[in-house]
Amino acid sequence: MKKLTLSFTLILAAVAIGLGQVVSTPPSGNNQRSVVKQYIGSIVYVKVVYNSPDVTSPSGDDRTGHIWGELVPYGLNDLGFGLGNPSPWRAGSNENTTITFSHDVEVQGQPIAAGTYGLHLIVEENGPWTWIFSSDTKAWGSYFYEAENDVLRVEATPKDCDYTEWLTYEFTDRQPTSAELQLAWENKCVPMQIEVPDMKEVYYTTMSEELKGGAGFTYQNWLNASSYLTQADYKLDKALEWADAAISAPFIGERNWTTLQNKSTVLMKLDRREEAQATMMEAIELPSATAFQIHQFGRQLISLGEPDKALEVFQMNHEKFDGAWPTNVGMARGLSAVGKYDEALKYAKLAHDEAPDDLNKNSMAGAIEKLEQKQDIN
């Protein structure tokens, strides 16, 4: 008797679970489920999940010319089912079309928080259309639409487009901090401009968290994070802190040309030039420093308006590598930068003779011509 009762209980539990599930059947109207996802940068993403009807009806009728204003009515309408509220179009078919923002963004210039939203659209015969972002993401279409759930409404201008058989969402423009999402169907399309308002902060916050985990156990990640902030000219004090970690953090720090050069660059951005140059002089003295690395540092000093320091670096490079390529080029550039054209010419001719390829030989030929005319070659 106990076994029978237990078996009956298990059957009832299985039935209860089954009542919450459905078997997999073809989509209503053969409107296929579709997903499009696009990253803005490497962290922020936008995802749209929708069902995609086609212009040709399930019965095979061509509905060209009967989509906008007919199958998709203009304005707000009583859809004949659900709450009976004046409702927009579901911006797709079947279940709610949803859009997900992984981070806070701006849509058509208006802020919206990270999250998933039900997506609707008010279509107009004339004038702009209106995108609606609703907090209700579970409804079937727009039958149970309630305006009080609106999180954001923004306007967008539709335009005529090439024919599109299946309703399609696609990203038609992709930039480092923005993307344009477009709905296209039949002969119309309507855009949605999505912008990340503070991408630098997104990267900074993400990297800060990552460096607390496994990513923080290699100096390269501290170096890359510092380099990003430096190039972005953002939170330079933190960039310097991370640069120091790449050099000297316990167990993982490494004092090499790249880590010292990165720290020097941060110090330059902070206008701490003497410290920056001292850091690079330390890098030059490393046994692993190459002639090309030192040469590029000398050129960097010239571009920063430090010709005397640059010449000093070029001289050290020439001595350290016994005149090997490209140290004679460096001497020519350094001497030219301080106005010593005759001496620079001698080194330019040596560099021309030892140039490893036609590109460099032609470059030095041009330098020789300029120096003969007492012109700077930098």
Residue 76 belongs to a domain = yes
Range of the domain at 362: 199-372
Residue 21 belongs to a domain = no
Task: State how far the Cα of 71 lies from the Cα of 33, in Å rounded to an integer.
Answer: 19
Question: Has residue 18 got a pLDDT over 70?
Answer: no
Mean pLDDT, to the nearest integer, of 63-83?
Answer: 88
pLDDT at 29 (0 to 100)? 60
End of a domain among 139, 160, 195? 195
Other C-beta atoms closer than 10 Å to the C-beta of 83 total: 14
User: Based on the domain organization, do 44 and 159 belong to the same domain?
Assistant: yes
Q: Which long-range contacts (CB under 8 A, 24 or more apart) does 25-34 make?
A: 27/51, 27/94, 28/93, 28/94, 29/53, 29/58, 29/93, 29/94, 30/58, 31/92, 31/93, 31/94, 32/166, 34/168, 34/169
CB within 8 A of 148, min separation 6: which ones?
none
User: Per residue in 220-258, pLDDT tens?
Assistant: 999 999 999 999 999 999 999 999 999 999 999 999 999
User: Based on the domain organization, do 162 and 253 belong to the same domain?
Assistant: no
User: Per residue in 95-110, pLDDT tens?
Assistant: 899 999 999 999 999 9
User: Per residue in 74-84, pLDDT tens?
Assistant: 999 887 776 77
Residue 219 belongs to a domain = yes
Question: Has residue 166 got a pLDDT over 80?
Answer: yes
User: Based on the domain organization, do 47 and 171 belong to the same domain?
Assistant: yes
Residue 340 belongs to a domain = yes
Q: Report residue 22's pLDDT band, with 50, 70 and 90 as the boundaries.
A: low
Question: Has residue 121 got a pLDDT over 90?
Answer: yes
User: Based on the domain organization, do 100 and 207 belong to the same domain?
Assistant: no
End of a domain among 162, 195, 228? 195
Question: Has residue 13 got a pLDDT over 60?
Answer: no
Mean pLDDT, to the nearest integer, of 168-184?
Answer: 97
User: Based on the domain organization, do 256 and 363 belong to the same domain?
Assistant: yes
Mean pLDDT, to the nearest integer, of 190-208?
Answer: 97
Residue 2 belongs to a domain = no
User: Based on the domain organization, do 73 and 204 belong to the same domain?
Assistant: no
End of a domain among 143, 166, 195? 195
Residue 71 belongs to a domain = yes
Mean pLDDT, to the nearest integer, of 9-15?
Answer: 45
β-strands 105-107, 110-112: how paired?
antiparallel
pLDDT at 9 (0 to 100)? 46
| Least confident residue range of 16-30, 162-176, 234-248, 295-309 | 16-30
User: Based on the domain organization, do 238 and 365 belong to the same domain?
Assistant: yes
Mean pLDDT, to the nearest integer, of 328-346?
Answer: 96
Instruction: State how many domains the chain has.
Output: 2
Residue 8 belongs to a domain = no
Question: Has residue 6 got a pLDDT over 80?
Answer: no
Q: Domain containing 277 — which CATH number? A: 1.25.40.10
Task: State how far the Cα of 330 lies from the Cα of 311, in Å rounded to an integer.
Answer: 8
Residue 378 belongs to a domain = no
User: Based on the domain organization, do 229 and 304 belong to the same domain?
Assistant: yes
User: Based on the domain organization, do 175 and 234 belong to the same domain?
Assistant: no
User: Based on the domain organization, do 291 and 190 belong to the same domain?
Assistant: no
User: Based on the domain organization, do 211 and 187 belong to the same domain?
Assistant: no
Q: Report residue 335's pLDDT band, with 50, 70 and 90 as the boundaries.
A: very high
User: Based on the domain organization, do 73 and 133 belong to the same domain?
Assistant: yes
| DSSP collapsed to 3 states, 234-288 | CCHHHHHHHHHHHHHCCCCCCCCHHHHHHHHHHHHHCCCHHHHHHHHHHHHCCCC
